[in-house]
Amino acid sequence: MIFFGVKLIIGFIGFGEVASTLTKKLQNFDVDVITSLNNRSEKSKQLAIKSNIKVFKTYGEIAKLSDILISSNNPKSALDVAKKYGKLTKRIFLDLNNISPKTAENINEIFQNEKGDNTRNNFINGAIIGRITNENHKIIVSGIKLKEIIALNDYGLNITPISENIEDVSKLKMLRSMYTKGLTAILFETFDVASSLGLSDELFDILSLTEGKNFKKNAKSRINSLAISNERKFQEMEEVLTFLEEINNDKNKTFDSTMTIATKNKFKDFIK
């Protein structure tokens, strides 16, 4: 255990559902969780008060005091937060913003620049798989300091190392989107027809035979999600297609993206 004998300090920049859920787990151990509420939403303030954590005036203080600084905002502000506070922190800067491979690369450059040396690179790219509120969620991580970050498993977190390649976590999230959104689009299309024929329940039943136990529940939640978050999903598919173009360029090859393009178009049709 790397942090043995010292009281671990973990700081959050951004205190939403991810931060408050992780805080609850960390508080079962000898950990100080800190944040700043400067310019934060009312919801974040409420969550921080409920979580009973130490609140400081500035993010600079948080960064400097933390052994591990966790950026849990949104993909758009990820690079800016990393630039301002990433290198102030003691050991690890962990991004949990679902950033793209490109943003991961850009943030990584901040941590490499000074010495041009990766052995001192404190940046860890992380992503949450499954709903954060679901007990079975996992945090996958990539970056040089894998050993240091998985030490947090001794503090109640569920972290799975992927590789030292900083972009890998973002790539996996992209590939996961390609699959899950494609599946959502197919489910929507199939059950739209099935329900018009009065055969939805029967189709759920026969698909459940081969598609696993929770198929019906999962499929219904996917189908419903399309109607309520199709615009966000459409944007995610645009990101996935950008990612595929980058791979085509890298590999000097053309991966067929028939299904991915169709999935994007499927979501587009639902945007009013």
List binders of a second copy among 245-264 (CB under 8 A).
Answer: 247, 251, 253, 255-263
List binders of a second copy among 87-106 (CB under 8 A).
Answer: none
Q: Which is nearer to a second copy, 11 or 182 (CB)?
A: 182
**Cα dist. 243→86, 99, 168, 252, 264 in Å?**
25, 12, 12, 14, 14
Structure-block tokens of residue 121 = 């690179």
At 93, give phi and psi (nearest 5°). -110, 115
Interaction between residue 182 and a second copy (CB under 8 A):
yes
**Cα dist. 74→104, 138, 221, 247 in Å?**
13, 19, 24, 24
Shortest CB 222 distance to a second copy, Å = 10
# residues near a second copy by CB under 8 A: 58
Binding mask 186-215 toward a second copy (x if CB under 8 A, else -) reads xx-xx-xxx-xx-x--xx-xxx-xxxxxxx
Amino acid at position 256, single letter: D
Shortest CB 55 distance to a second copy, Å = 34
Shortest CB 133 distance to a second copy, Å = 14
Question: Is 105:125 a contact under the CB 8 Å cutoff?
Answer: no
Q: Which is nearer to a second copy, 80 or 245 (CB)?
A: 245
Binding mask 131-160 toward a second copy (x if CB under 8 A, else -) reads -----x-x-x-------------------x
Question: Is 60:38 a contact under the CB 8 Å cutoff?
Answer: no
Q: Which is nearer to a second copy, 37 or 186 (CB)?
A: 186
Interaction between residue 39 and a second copy (CB under 8 A):
no
Q: Which sign does the torsion angle of CA 92, 143, 238, 236 carry? A: negative
Q: Which is nearer to a second copy, 168 or 236 (CB)?
A: 168
Residues that bind a second copy (CB under 8 A): 129-130, 136, 138, 140, 160, 162-163, 168, 171-172, 175-176, 178-180, 182-183, 185-187, 189-190, 192-194, 196-197, 199, 202-203, 205-207, 209-215, 218, 244, 247, 251, 253, 255-263, 265-266, 269
